[in-house]
Amino acid sequence: EDKVVQSPLSLVVHEGDTVTLNCSYEVTNFRSLLWYKQEKKAPTFLFMLTSSGIEKKSGRLSSILDKKELFSILNITATQTGDSAVYLCAPNSGGGADGLTFGKGTHLIIQP
């Protein structure tokens, strides 16, 4: 059975801090790993990672995948209150169909 564990489950930091969110996974036929940000309803897409060791970057957010150790991290530098959200990771096992297996998410709160 596919398994995804995110840590920490919740995190409270002050504006300007840097945070690192963790995602470890066990899936069969791994194709990619996706990160989403969920503020109220719709998870919004952040990154798709397919190759180990190649950092993907978007503004203050970056993410990297380690396919050997089966984990990914999401970094957010110079956090802002607008970064407050639940961050979800989901490995994609592909194989002709791609129902995502999500972790419980990390609830990040940025205090002004």
Partner 1 sequence: DAGVTQSPTHLIKTRGQQVTLRCSPKSGHDTVSWYQQALGQGPQFIFQYYEEEERQRGNFPDRFSGHQFPNYSSELNVNALLLGDSALYLCASSSGLAGGGETQYFGPGTRLLVL
| Spatial separation of the C-alpha atoms in residues 14 and 79, rounded to whole Å | 8
Pick the closer one to partner 1 by CB: 10 or 18.
10
Site membership for partner 1, residue 44 (CB under 8 A):
yes
Smallest gap, in angstroms, from Cβ of residue 55 to partner 1?
18
| Residue 62 token pair | 């970056």
The one segment of 14-22, 33-41, 59-67, 72-80 that binds partner 1 by CB under 8 A = 33-41
Q: Take residue 78 and report the two structure tokens written for it.
A: 């110079």
> Dihedral sign, CA of 49, 3, 83, 64?
negative
CB atoms within 10 A of CB 32: 17
Least separation, in Å, of the C-beta of 75 and partner 1?
20
Binding site for partner 1 (CB under 8 A): 4, 31-32, 34, 36, 41-45, 48, 50, 88, 90, 92-105
